[in-house]
Amino acid sequence: MSTIDILLVEDDPRDLELTLRTLKKNNIANHIFVARDGAEALAFLQSGSAQPRLVLLDLKLPKVSGLEVLTQIRQNPATKDTPVVILTSTDDQPEIDACYRLGANSFVRKPVDFAQFTEAVRQVGVYWLLLNQPPKAGQP
């Protein structure tokens, strides 16, 4: 099984490029798998070839919604404990509530401003990959 630090699920090419550039510039993640729609994300996770340490998940995705991807992540024993950070442009409170109800670990609204967006991505990566202490594999 290969090592993947982040599964980045993003369909917007500009946000995708900016997120990748920010993570690499800050040496936060060396191994990133990009899924450009929900179906691709689920196929990657269900393949069992690698399990990410962190999922950055957009909500508005083609083929399969981000909420459905989140639901499937939490129902899969192999990924149920994987941290999932919703990184999206919505500020719709019922949608935010739904994300937490379905098991999201964090919800980050994408700032419109370039500098704020890059700083938000940097902070998410630093916290979840460098500072956060996950449970030992197989432990509750």
CA distance 67 to 99: 7
pLDDT score for 56:
95
Q: Two tokens at 124?
A: 């998410």
Q: How far from chain centre, in Å, is Cα 139?
A: 22
pLDDT score for 55:
96
pTM of the model: 0.90
Q: What domains appear along the chain, each with residue ranges and CATH number? A: 2-129 (3.40.50.2300)
Give 10-residue mean pLDDT values along the chain (140 residues). 82 92 85 95 90 93 96 93 92 93 93 85 88 70
Q: Two tokens at 106?
A: 């964090």
pLDDT score for 29:
74
Q: How far is CA 22 from CA 47, 52, 75, 99, 128, in A?
A: 28, 18, 31, 25, 15
